[in-house]
Structure 1
Amino acid sequence: MRKLSAITILVATIMFAACKKQDSANVTERPVVIAYLTPGQPVGVKVYQQKGLADTATYGAAITGLSLSLSNGSQTVALTESGSGNYVYNNTSFLSSGKTYTLKFNYLNEDVTATTNIPAKATSYTASRTTINMPLTTINGPAATDSIAVTFRWSNPDSLYHVIVFKNDDNSPYNLHPQRNSPVNFTIDAKTADHYDVYYRTFSYLGVYRAILYSVDKAYGDILSSNANTTSQRLANPPGNITNGYGIFAGMQADTIKLTLTQY
């Protein structure tokens, strides 16, 4: 589950920033739920309180002592609390591609529910190259950095939503732009496309990257789109698929290609 960390933090940042301004009396009224369902993995659901805009923490306080259930339509299982606000079901055979899952629990006398479908895993995921030699003119040569470094392609006949998470595996990756505050790891929203062109200027570090292609449900795509199109209305009504709550409950599948970024 470690490879989900980049998008988990991204979605958490979007959702908590989107919660409308509230005073301390009602900041805990509705829970924030974050869960990603992936076939072959245990179920993990995190439940937090909302946090005020002045709070600089990534997450609100964990909500403990809840009774969560998860159903696939024919079987319902109970999640157990493995840590504060962290609810799990460890049977790795419960999640399957193509099935619909519904989460339920009660919080402050309200039924909180969420439903997601686990999409099919993308097939024929390829990269036009797996070794990328970054141009020496990266900093001062816009013509060089405006060209395409690599093209990713995959089969997507049903126009499913996809994101590509780039995660650098080096302990201390070399920064091509030390004068900038560029993140090492980043996420690209490919929407419903079947390919994506990544330009040289997108990369700020050398080293070995994992380009992880996630097939995700529409709710997750809507949250990423909201980050790029924030309005005052969205700040008061953040997107998500949690009834009587906030956050994201999303089915997804992943495939990975390794890239080596060099410069010589």
Structure 2
Amino acid sequence: MKNIHVYIFLGIMSFSCSSLENGFEETIPKPVVEAYLIPGAPISLSVHTEIPYSADSLANKEKPVDGLKITITGPKGSINLVSKGNGLYVSQSIFPITVGSSYSFKFDYLGKQVSATTQIPTKPLKFTSNKTVISRQAIDISAGGRPQGGFGGGANVDNNVMLTWENNTNDYYMSIIESLEPNPVEIIKFPVDPTRVRPNIRFRNQPIQGNSAEIRSQSFQYFGQHALILFKLNSDYVALYQRNGNTTQNISTPPTTILNGLGIFTGVNADTLKIKVLPE
């Protein structure tokens, strides 16, 4: 699947100003950059201010930063990104992202140059799944109540999906499963409620340094075709992912490779398989 959706990664970041040992310190918010460079995908990069964190602040909200002149540089030249509003910047022409190559960005913000460099990892090797089709029992609770045996839908370990790949160099990988149906049908039919939020069409496993991942059949929320996407990650993404356990009681400076800023600018690569979930 060449058209890998970068938005799969979004939402792992929440940046706050560093705290002092005894209370909080107000600082000028730094720019928070978020960009994932993937071979075959267009470049997109977002910039927001970090969330101002103080003991009495009532407006702890990040703000998009528009109108910057952002340049991406690679082994075959440079390209200027176009501001689309709401902090989003995109490439409007083809800019090749190649495996093993280094890429950097830079822009000026409040008198300082913000920059970072990343390298594009190789594609996952020998990515396989032990199943191309699984089945789930449809559950109808639209009349109310709870199904006998809970919401597992007759969960059977034989329906679990085992993903494997080669990892002789102890690299980081993360698997993401995404429904490909234009109008996906939920496995569990709930009572009609216009305020109910439908399950997310995608779910993920946390990054690991192993060579396999088990996907439980109960994790699938929809019938139909799904993509099994295996991402090979750089270590900076993993550090930021793991840092997200921080709370207001455990504030620390987030890990970043960005000079004069925060966030992440990293290369990723992926391979994709497909699996279909059928009703029993």
Query: What is the match of residue 123 of structure 2?
Result: 121
Query: What is the match of residue 97 of structure 1?
Result: 99
Query: What is the match of residue 162 of structure 1?
Result: 173
**Residue 5 of structure 1: how far off its partner (Å):** 2.0
**TM-score (norm. length: structure 1):** 0.80
Query: What is the match of residue 253 of structure 1?
Result: 269
Aligned residues: 254
Higher helix share: 1
- Answer yes or no: is 1:214 the counterpart of 2:231: yes
Moved more, 188-197 or 200-209: 200-209
Q: Any idea what SS the aligned residue of 1:132 has?
A: strand
User: Contact conserved, 1:28 with 1:49, CA < 8 A, in 2?
Assistant: no
Query: What is the match of residue 31 of structure 1?
Result: 31
Q: Structure 1 residues 140, 75: closer, same or farther in 2, change over 3 A?
A: closer
Per-residue Cα deviation, 1:143-177 (whole angstroms, up to 9, x for no partner): 94566601111222222221112111231331438
Q: Could you say which structure has the larger radius of gyration?
A: 2
**Residue 193 of structure 1: how far off its partner (Å):** 1.7
Match of 2:164 among 153, 165, 171: 153
User: Contact conserved, 1:135 with 1:145, CA < 8 A, in 2?
Assistant: no
**Residue 108 of structure 1: how far off its partner (Å):** 0.7
- Answer yes or no: is 1:71 the counterpart of 2:73: yes
Q: Percent identity?
A: 26
Q: For residues 28 and 64 of structure 2, what CA distance do their matches in structure 1 show?
A: 11
Query: What is the match of residue 19 of structure 1?
Result: 16
AA aligned opposite 2:113: D
Q: Structure 1 residues 118, 108: closer, same or farther in 2, change over 3 A?
A: same
Match of 1:196 among 213, 223, 240: 213
AA aligned opposite 2:109: Y
AA aligned opposite 1:212: I
Q: For residues 138 and 41 of structure 1, what CA distance do their matches in structure 2 show?
A: 44
Per-residue Cα deviation, 1:3-49 (whole angstroms, up to 9, x for no partner): 222321x32xxx22x42489xx9686211111111122222211122
User: Contact conserved, 1:40 with 1:92, CA < 8 A, in 2?
Assistant: no
Per-residue Cα deviation, 1:37-96 (whole angstroms, up to 9, x for no partner): 112222221112234576697xx3321221212223573433333445322334434311
Structure 2 residue ranges without an equivalent (≥5) = 20-24, 139-147
Query: What is the match of residue 186 of structure 2?
Result: 174
Q: Structure 1 residues 186, 27: closer, same or farther in 2, change over 3 A?
A: farther
Structure 1 residue ranges without an equivalent (≥5) = none
Give the root-mean-square deviation of aligned CA atoms. Answer: 3.3
